[in-house]
Amino acid sequence: MSAYDDSNIFAKILRGEIPSTKVYEDTDTLAFMDVMPQSPGHFLVVPKAPSRNLLDAAPQTLATLFPVVQKLAHAAKEAFAADGIFVAQLNEAPAGQTVFHLHVHVIPRYDGIALKPHAGGMESAEILAAQADKIRAVLAG
Ligand code: 5GP
């Protein structure tokens, strides 16, 4: 497996070099909307610590990340009145990974509605901002 390369797009988002539509942030974790959502409300949860994916992540990174994934999955289910939440995490290109900084997809699902293709069409910035607001409102409780 290749070494971590900090020129990936999520490392740039974490460094504030390119914009993202933020959903949640704490000391160790950032969550932001996926620009090519597979379902309305699709966002990504990203540890700030560098790793390519699950395979090279420090156990402590995973231990910190997954409680946040759970909290945000609950918030997304409520914010989008979803029937279910698909949580996905891809490891290396043959598994479909396209950005090589560990991230977890959180995707609202609905009975009888298929997912759009992975990394398909771009969503508008206005819609992504409105969706992030909905999640933040649930988190603010
Ligand atoms: P992967 O294939 O690595 O599991 O998923 C990468 C995800 O990142 C895809 O769902 C894709 O839509 C999303 N993505 C790619 N470039 C950007 C970007 O610049 N900003 C955001 N917010 N998402 C991105």
Q: For residue 21, which atom of ligand 1 is closest to its CA?
A: 22
State if residue 8 touches ligand 1 by the CB under 6 angstroms criterion: no
Ligand 1 center to 15 CA (angstroms): 16
Cα-to-centroid distance, 101 and ligand 1 (Å): 10
* Mean pLDDT over the full length of the chain: 97
Bigger pLDDT: 111 vs 1: 111
Nearest in space to 14 (alpha carbons), one of 34, 37, 35, 30: 30
CA distance linking residue 113 with residue 6, whole number of Å: 36
Over residues 110-121, mean pLDDT: 91
Top CATH class of 9-140 equals alpha beta
Q: Is the CB of 54 under 6 A from ligand 1?
A: no
119 pLDDT exceeds 90?
no
Quick one: pLDDT at residue 120?
Answer: 83
Q: Is 32 in the pocket of ligand 1 (CB under 6 A)?
A: yes
Domain assignments of the chain as residue spans, ordered by start:
9-140
CA dist., res. 130 & res. 120, Å (int):
20
pTM of model > 0.95: yes
For residue 36 and ligand 1, the question of a CB distance below 6 A is answered with yes
- Starting at the earlier edge strand, list the strands of the sheet with 43-47: 22-25, 29-33, 43-47, 104-109, 84-88
- Rounded distance from Cα 36 to ligand 1 centre (Å): 7
Which is nearest to 49 in space by CA: 108, 110, 101, 113?
101
Rounded distance from Cα 24 to ligand 1 centre (Å): 17
Residue 87 Cβ inside 6 Å of ligand 1? The answer reads: no
* Distance, CA of 56 to CA of 8 (rounded, Å): 16
Expressed in angstroms, the distance from the first to the final Cα of the chain is 42
